[in-house]
Amino acid sequence: MSSIEQAFVQSLLEDQKRVSGRRLNEARKLELAFGGSYGHVEVKMGRTRLVAQVSSQVAKPRDDRPFEGLFLITTDVSSMASPRFENGRQTVDELMVTRLIEKAIRRSNALDLESLCIVAGQSCWMVRADVHYLEYDGGFIDASCIAVIAALLHFRRPDTSIDGSRTIVHTLDERPPVPLSVLHVPICVSWSFFDNDIIVVDADEAEQDLRIGSMTITINKDRDICQFTKAGKIPLSSQQIIECCEQAHGRAREITDLIHEKLKQDFEKRNRGNMGFDLAENDR
């Protein structure tokens, strides 16, 4: 990034403007689209674009936790998102994305692991969420969190039944698939700090290269903060921190509603499909 580009972005920020035309505390518009198979979602925030795919398979539970299923999230960024990412190694920023998603979703028990147990100690469901990054324009933490939680809500696993000591996994046609029990919907919102005490929400690639520090708040609709990460750079008063949490809560409510609405639309489309006969198309 050239020094004049840095100066350009910084001077725009200093009089409350951004290259993308957004206000300082305005996040990018979220576009969400569910794919063909269950648990497939594509998230677009401005130029940032990624796909999350949730899948499940039967596996053996951990010895020290026989009553819980397994839940795995992989967030490897390939050089498709941008040549700055190497296919093999993980840079520090990618590590922070992985760690924050881990804390936001896995550590905050968004997915109830006990509901994944089939036969305690013998067999359980292993749910894995794979995030594939197609385009990088900053904001990977926020977009990944939304993508994984939306994919978990959209996913349906095959139903199982026990007969004697055998567990039968029914195919999707034999028995209607079972949704996962998602206990709450954590949403990440990231702030970026710049020189002269400038704070910006949802930075894009140029802003993320120029920023000196960042802060990420994960909160769900019922005002529970799932994780809070602010390490250094601009000090904030308690008042400012609470304000940011309120702002994050607003954004979380807005995104959670959008996800549920899109889920409803997708659910209707799916059911109208396999109802076997054409509903009277009442085009209101």
Partner 1 sequence: MSRFEIYSPEGLRADGRRWNELRHIKCGINTHSKSADGSAVVEMGASKVVCIVQGPQEPETRSRVREKATLSVSVTVAPFSTTERSKHVTNDRRLQEMSANLQNLFEEAVLTHLHPRTEIVCSLTVIAQDGGLLSCCINAMTLALIDAGLPMYEYVSACSVALFDQTPLLDPNNVEETELASVTVGIVGETDKISLLILERRLGLDRLPPALELGVEGCKVLRQVMDKEVRRHGAMRLASRAE
Partner 2 sequence: MLLPGDKIVAEQRLGPGIIAPPLEEPRVVLAGEDSWSDKVVFINTNTKRYTPANRDYVVGVISQRLADVYRVRLQEYSKPVRLSHLAFQGATKKNKPNLNAGDVVYGRITHCDKDTEVEMECVDSSSGKAMGFGQLKEGSIISVGLGYARKLLFDGHPVLDAIGAKHQYELAIGMNGRIWVKANDDKTTLAIRNWIKEAETKGAQAVNLVK
Partner 3 sequence: MPLHNSDGSAEWIAGHNGGDTRIICSVNGPIEVKTRDELPTMATLELVVRPVVGLPTIRETLLQDCTYGCLRSIVLRTQLPRSLIQIVVQVLDAGEPVEYTVYELVGAINSSVLALANAGIPLSGLVVAVCLAIVEGEIVLNPGVDQLKKSQSTHAVAYKVDNGPEEVRFRLVMCESTGLFTQNELLQVLETAEDAAREENKKMRSMIEQQVAESLAFA
155 within 8 A of 179, measured Cβ to Cβ: yes
The residue among 156 and 233 lying less far from partner 1, judged by its C-beta, is: 233
Does 127 sit near partner 3 (CB under 8 A)?
Answer: no
User: Under the criterion CB under 8 A, does residue 7 sit at the interface with partner 2?
Assistant: yes
Q: Report if residue 198 touches partner 1, rule: CB under 8 A.
A: no
Q: CA-to-CA distance for 195 and 11, rounded, in angstroms?
A: 11
Give the residue among 198, 185, 169 at the shortest CA–CA distance from 12: 198
**CA distances for 84 relative to 50, 96, 251, angstroms:** 16, 16, 30
**Residue in 23, 29, 60, 84 binding partner 2, rule: CB under 8 A:** 84
Residue 194 C-beta: closest distance to partner 3, Å: 23
Closest CA to 155 of 186, 121, 116: 116
Name the β-bridge partners of 55: 128
Q: How far is the CB of 62 from partner 1 (least distance, A)?
A: 13
- Shortest distance, position 205 Cβ to partner 2, whole Å: 11
Residue 127 per-residue DSSP state: E
User: Please, which of residues 44-83 interact with partner 2 by CB under 8 A?
Assistant: 83
Please state, in angstroms and rounded to a whole number, the distance separating the CA atoms of residues 160 and 170: 6
Question: Contact region for partner 1 (CB under 8 A) — 33-41, 67-75, 119-127, 220-228?
Answer: 220-228
Report the distance separating Cα 216 and Cα 138, nearest Å: 13
Least Å from the CB of residue 33 to partner 3: 12
* Residue numbers at the binding site for partner 2 (CB under 8 A): 1-8, 11-12, 15, 17, 19, 83-84
* Residue numbers at the binding site for partner 3 (CB under 8 A): 35-37, 40, 47, 49, 51, 53, 55, 74, 76, 78-83, 87, 128, 130, 132, 134-137
